[in-house]
Structure 1
Amino acid sequence: MFKYETIDDLVSYAKEAEGKTLKEIDKNDMFESKNIKGKVGTIIEESYFGYPSNSAAEADFADVGVELKTTGVIRQKSGKLAAKERLVLNIINYETESFKDFYTSSFWLKNNKLLIFFYSYVRNADNKPDYRNFEIIKTILHEFNDTDLELIKKDWEIINNKIKAGLAHELSEGDTNILGACTKGASAKSVRSQPFSDIDAKQRAYSLKQGYMSALVRQYIDNEKLISFTSAEQLKNKSFEALLHDYFDVYIGWSTKDIAKRLGVELSTAKNKNALLISDILGITGTNLNKIEEFSKLNIKFKTITYSKTGTLPESMSFENLNFEEIYNENFDDSSLKEQMESIKWLFVVFQKDENNDTIFKGIKLWNVPEEIIDNQIRDLYDYVKQQMLDKNVVTYDQNGKEIINLPKTAFNGVCHVRPKGANRAKSMITLPNGESIPNQCFWFNNSFIKTLTDNLLN
């Protein structure tokens, strides 16, 4: 077992793991186990530090108050590094946590200092996780800065207040900004009792959301400097959403021409001109809100929505291409689609054309996908696509030989559907895990659904 006297000893030893792969670290033949998934942390604990894996209430290195965590890093198509997923922390014991304050909570006592091992999440030639060749990229001791801590305190209070109100069964990832209460268990049927209600609640764990973890990747590995527009002092008195409204609400009812004039910028003629104007309001160049620290850590993406003068909304809302390999091999509860829907907050920025064809700013709405939508309509779509692949029924032909792609259309459930984005069929062709070939497909929210979320801003 590794011996240490101070936190500095611990951090120095962790640094020695950088550049090593899991196969170099593993001393217990962990890779011979059929259930290797989720064992990265176990390998680091047992083989590198030499202590048995456990689920104790105190931090892993309790004498110095340090918790050990591992998290995967992926390279996105843009070339940027990002966290593969949220960082799951300790299980929430509803029965005891409700009687704590923030600084005596199980979250804070266990996780206020995190020794994080960032590893490269790579795949082999068969597109399967190549666990042996996961490499430790960086190890850091992370402590929350003052601004993050204010946001996390508010998140913890939201979670704890629901438990106190006997509403632990209504907890949702979308309730909070950085500190989440993610489902944790073998299945959605994993439940626990709660102190102020007879209704069993899903078992949940505290977690740091994927956006926050990606911001840490950019900070610690890419050494990227982010712009901040809030302070810990401001967040003591106002919510992040209220501070966001302070930026935008002054322009409600203004035309994009007048906003540009007020800001002293030239109104772009590009297709994404409204998105560029939003960036000007926030004081950044381009349309990547990840350059703003709070947007990056809170995983906020913005979408401009433009209504016609009669109040119709022509466009549905698209996401990236579906990962059919994952859908074929993974259950919905373990999917990146589910985590994406749980973790992203959407900033809808709403415009409307007037009788002179000027574009008028109508307001903003910060929205996350409700858990009931995730657990019903989105789960149904995922499971339907999976079953169609298993049945080899994605592609069929009518009596005239015309190809039919049997994936969910806009009428599937009134909320979401699947279809291509872009017109070049030949360049977008992919082979599904079942051998069928189709153009790449995106997940979409129906325009009628988006309208129900935002049309109240028109008035």
Structure 2
Amino acid sequence: MILYETIDELMEKAYAAEGKTFGEIDGTGRIKNLRSKGTLGNIIEESYFGYEINSVSKPDFENLGVELKVTPFKLNKNQTYSSKERLVLNIIDYMKEHDLTFKESSFMSKAAKMLIMLYQHVPEVPISDFRIVKSFLNEFSEEDLAVMERDWEIIVSKIKSGEAHLISEADTMYLSACTKGANKSSVREQPFSPIKAKQRAFSLKTSYMTNLIRKYLTPEHMESFSMPGELKTKTVDQILEERLSPHYGKKIDVLCDEVGIKYNPNNKSMIPHLMAKLLGVKKNDIGEIEEFSKANIKFKTIGREPGGNIREHMSFTHVDFDTLLSEKWEESELYRIFSEQKYLFLIFRFEEEYKKGVKRIPYFEGIKLWNMPQEKIDGELYATWSETKKIVKEGVKLNKAGNRVNNNLPGSSFNNFCHIRSKARDGKDKILLPDGQKITKQAYWLDRHYIERILNE
């Protein structure tokens, strides 16, 4: 094994890999038979840095306290870069982790200092031609570490409560506990419950990695709404509340006037533009703010009636009928969305009761940062997906009723939680079902009564 005595010596070697393909680096010949990118890191470890592959809990370059991570990024259609996947670190030992402090944690012992080597994943290109683009030494900022410590505490608190089986990636902001195993039978014992929990590993969210990758590959950086050092002592929830609560109770047209943007209820970009202005950033969309990007926070606007009820269900992703029959639950788009994402609900309330044709201007009532509990994901959400898959496999029944075409996909009365309904430009906006029938584009929707319960908690 080659021993690197200083970090400078190690980094000099890492920088020299930039521009090289894995085929050029490979000294073992294994890449010729490699079908998966999963062992590309092993080629870097063995052929480039000259050390044997291991699965010990200590950093790869133990004498320097540096862990090596080789991870892919991709070029998006809009010419931006993003991480292709989360950065998986180490398996969580439920029986031991709860006895540690954050500084002693398996995450910190493994990832406090990482040599990250980025390669570009290009579809239809042989793995051997994937190229190392950038190498850098990553040490987390004090603010990011403060957020990650709170994330770690959330994960550990569930272990201590005997709820390791209810851990979800969406519980946390930057550091998550992703499932890690061949299948559903990959489970582990937990110390405070007889229920076995899915095997999980500490990981940096894909959204966090995307932000990190852009920092090194692009000159432009995202804008932050928090003050320097603020995240060391406050959560994102607290900062958002402090920034936005002075505006609660004001009508939306008044808020638009105060920040200098045109009030237009038909303009879908108005709300994100308004929120960005209220948070004090120059961006025109809150989705482009650094804290939201890192933590994979998406926003949803909710309109409440004077009594607090909600008139409309909440839509999410379209149903992909092309992949539905072949996909597994935990690899599905629906599972990924709710197991990984947090949602910032922007809540507006009307003062007048709804009357068809009468325009109403709501006031800004408040916000709520939410993610779907894992028991709901494994329960009602899975039931909707499973029933949809079953019906599509058997053949969707389409029945014309006047100008409408009804179907037997799970409707709003299926489980009063999640259902399928159309989400299309018009009746002509159709797609093909696997059996060749045409149907208007369908989407997954959360029931409005469930959203009401979330807001009332």
Q: Name the TM-score class by shorter chain.
A: 0.7 to 0.9
Once the 2 structures are TM-superposed, how far is the Cα of residue 422 of structure 1 from its aligned partner?
2.8
- Asked if structure 1 preserves the Cα contact closer than 8 Å seen for 2:429 and 2:441, the reply is no
Partner of 1:373: 376
After TM superposition, the score normalised by the length of structure 1 is 0.85
- Asked if structure 2 preserves the Cα contact closer than 8 Å seen for 1:268 and 1:276, the reply is no
How far, CA to CA, are the matches of 1:215 and 1:410 in structure 2? Answer: 38
How far, CA to CA, are the matches of 1:29 and 1:431 in structure 2? Answer: 44
Once the 2 structures are TM-superposed, how far is the Cα of residue 262 of structure 1 from its aligned partner?
4.1
How far, CA to CA, are the matches of 1:414 and 1:23 in structure 2? Answer: 53
Once the 2 structures are TM-superposed, how far is the Cα of residue 348 of structure 1 from its aligned partner?
0.2
Task: Please point out which of 269, 286, 290 is paired with 1:289.
Answer: 286
How far, CA to CA, are the matches of 1:37 and 1:414 in structure 2? Answer: 42
- Match of 1:137, as an amino acid? V
Task: Please point out which of 173, 177, 186 is paired with 2:173.
Answer: 177
Once the 2 structures are TM-superposed, how far is the Cα of residue 151 of structure 1 from its aligned partner?
0.5
How far, CA to CA, are the matches of 2:75 and 2:316 in structure 1? Answer: 18
How far, CA to CA, are the matches of 1:378 and 1:208 in structure 2? Answer: 25
Identity, in percent, stands at 40
How far, CA to CA, are the matches of 2:390 and 2:33 in structure 1? Answer: 29
- Match of 1:256, as an amino acid? I
How far, CA to CA, are the matches of 1:399 and 1:295 in structure 2? Answer: 44
SS, match of residue 39 in structure 1: helix
Partner of 1:451: 452
- Asked if structure 2 preserves the Cα contact closer than 8 Å seen for 1:394 and 1:436, the reply is no
How far, CA to CA, are the matches of 1:130 and 1:373 in structure 2? Answer: 40
Paired residues for 1:416-431 under 5 Å: 416-423=418-425, 429=431
2:262 corresponds to 1:259: no
Partner of 1:98: 98
More moved, 44-53 vs 150-159: 44-53
How far, CA to CA, are the matches of 2:222 and 2:145 in structure 1? Answer: 17
SS, match of residue 38 in structure 1: helix
- Asked if structure 1 preserves the Cα contact closer than 8 Å seen for 2:168 and 2:178, the reply is yes
CA displacement 1:60-116 (0-9 Å, x = unmatched)? 111111112233323444443222222111011122222221212111011011222
- Asked if structure 2 preserves the Cα contact closer than 8 Å seen for 1:87 and 1:213, the reply is yes
How far, CA to CA, are the matches of 1:447 and 1:170 in structure 2? Answer: 24
Report the aligned-residue RMSD.
3.3
- Asked if structure 2 preserves the Cα contact closer than 8 Å seen for 1:122 and 1:133, the reply is no
More moved, 247-256 vs 405-414: 405-414
SS, match of residue 230 in structure 1: coil
Task: Please point out which of 165, 184, 189 is paired with 1:188.
Answer: 184
Paired residues for 1:285-324 under 5 Å: 285=282, 287-309=284-306, 311-324=308-321
Partner of 2:110: 110
Once the 2 structures are TM-superposed, how far is the Cα of residue 172 of structure 1 from its aligned partner?
2.6
Partner of 1:279: 276
Once the 2 structures are TM-superposed, how far is the Cα of residue 323 of structure 1 from its aligned partner?
4.8
Distance 1:378 1:74, change over 3 A: farther
Paired residues for 1:54-453 under 5 Å: 54-124=54-124, 131-231=127-227, 233-263=229-259, 265-268=261-264, 270-272=266-268, 273-285=270-282, 287-309=284-306, 311-324=308-321, 326-355=323-352, 357-387=360-390, 391=393, 393-395=394-396, 407-423=409-425, 429=431, 440-453=441-454
How far, CA to CA, are the matches of 2:17 and 2:449 in structure 1? Answer: 52
Once the 2 structures are TM-superposed, how far is the Cα of residue 397 of structure 1 from its aligned partner?
5.6
- Match of 2:288, as an amino acid? K
How far, CA to CA, are the matches of 2:433 and 2:50 in structure 1? Answer: 44
Unaligned segments of structure 1, at least 5 residues: none
Once the 2 structures are TM-superposed, how far is the Cα of residue 5 of structure 1 from its aligned partner?
3.0
How far, CA to CA, are the matches of 1:5 and 1:324 in structure 2? Answer: 55
Once the 2 structures are TM-superposed, how far is the Cα of residue 279 of structure 1 from its aligned partner?
2.0
CA displacement 1:108-160 (0-9 Å, x = unmatched)? 01101122222333333xxxx96445443332221111211111111122223
How far, CA to CA, are the matches of 1:8 and 1:428 in structure 2? Answer: 58
After TM superposition, the score normalised by the length of structure 2 is 0.85
- Match of 2:316, as an amino acid? F
Distance 1:379 1:170, change over 3 A: closer
SS, match of residue 294 in structure 1: helix
CA displacement 1:430-453 (0-9 Å, x = unmatched)? 675x87765654333233332332
CA displacement 1:372-417 (0-9 Å, x = unmatched)? 122123333444444556x3x44556699x9876644333433223
CA displacement 1:309-367 (0-9 Å, x = unmatched)? 45453433333444555544442223444233222110001112222933111110000
Unaligned segments of structure 2, at least 5 residues: 353-358
